[in-house]
């Protein structure tokens, strides 16, 4: 249907031109993730605002179009959020990717999840769920690295 087409367009656009695909200098958090199914890896950096919110999120890595689109949409979605909000979104997205349904509203579209809904279709392809969630796992890993200096290598 039309909505489905729109979603496809969003994914294609973000997959081809991932936003925030760059190294973040002087990051406050750094994390790595990998998709064990294919071996693709991702590195992600977070710059925190003085109040602890995510001021900037950027990533680099190699992966399929779905993983790139998901990471691109994720960086735009979590910017300005608190770390708790970002983790909650990661959990919500994981559910969405696995089931195709938002756990909170059962699928109605609302603010940030609306754009991510575009990736809800991956639940029909279980092998691609890890592609779609790679960026979110990597974000969680970065936020968990609170004690570790962000590496500059
Ligand atoms: Fe379900 Fe936003 S609460 S999509
Ligand atoms: Fe490797 Fe999708 S095939 S991340």
State the pLDDT confidence band at 105, using cuts at 50, 70 and 90: low
Q: Which residues pair with 46 in a beta bridge?
A: 29, 57
Asked if residues 32 and 62 have their Cβ atoms less than 8 Å apart, the reply is no
**How many domains is the chain built from?**
1
Is 37 inside a domain boundary? Answer: yes
Tell whether 65 is covered by a domain. yes
Ligand nearest to the CA of 33: 2
Does residue 33 line the site of ligand 2, with CB under 6 A? Answer: no
Q: Is 14 inside a domain boundary?
A: yes
- In this prediction, residue 69 has a pLDDT band, given cuts at 50, 70 and 90, of very high
114 falls within a domain: yes
Tens-place pLDDT, residues 120-144: 778 788 888 999 999 999 999 999 9
Ligand 1 pocket: which of 91, 100, 110 to mutate (most atoms within 8 A of CB): 110
| Residue 150 resides in a domain | no
Q: Which domain holds residue 84?
A: 2-144
Q: Tell me, yes or no, whether 83 lies in a domain.
A: yes
Answer yes or no: is the C-beta of 99 below 6 A from any ligand 1 atom: no
Give distance in angstroms: CA of 93 to centre of ligand 1: 10
Q: From residue 41, how far is each of 35, 47, 106, 109 by CA, in Å? A: 6, 20, 31, 30
* CATH number for the domain harbouring residue 59: 3.90.1010.10
Going by pLDDT thresholds of 50, 70 and 90, the confidence category of residue 147 is low
Q: Is the CB of 131 under 6 A from ligand 2?
A: yes
Which bound ligand lies closest to the C-alpha atom of 41?
Answer: 2
Does 153 map to a domain? no
What is the Å distance from ligand 2's center to 16 Cα?
14
CB distance 64 to ligand 2 below 6 Å:
yes
More confident residue, 16 or 121: 16
How does pLDDT run across 70-91, given as a tens digit for each residue? 999 999 999 999 999 999 989 9
Q: Is residue 151 part of a domain?
A: no
d(CA 129, CA 35) in angstroms, rounded, equals: 10
């Amino acid at each position: 249907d039309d909505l489905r087409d729109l979603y496809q367009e969003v994914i294609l656009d973000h997959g081809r031109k991932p936003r925030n695909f760059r190294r973040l200098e002087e990051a406050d958090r750094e994390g790595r993730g990998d998709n064990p199914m294919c071996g693709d890896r991702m590195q992600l950096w977070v710059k925190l605002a003085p109040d602890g919110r995510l001021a900037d999120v950027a990533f680099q890595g190699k992966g399929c179009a779905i993983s790139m689109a998901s990471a691109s949409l994720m960086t735009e979605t979590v910017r300005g959020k608190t770390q708790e909000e970002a983790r909650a979104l990661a959990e919500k997205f994981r559910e969405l990717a696995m089931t195709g349904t938002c756990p909170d509203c059962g699928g109605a579209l609302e603010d940030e999840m609306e754009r991510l809904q575009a990736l809800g279709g991956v639940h029909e392809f279980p092998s691609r769920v890890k592609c779609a969630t790679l960026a979110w796992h990597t974000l969680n890993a970065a936020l968990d690295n609170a004690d570790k200096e962000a590496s500059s290598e």
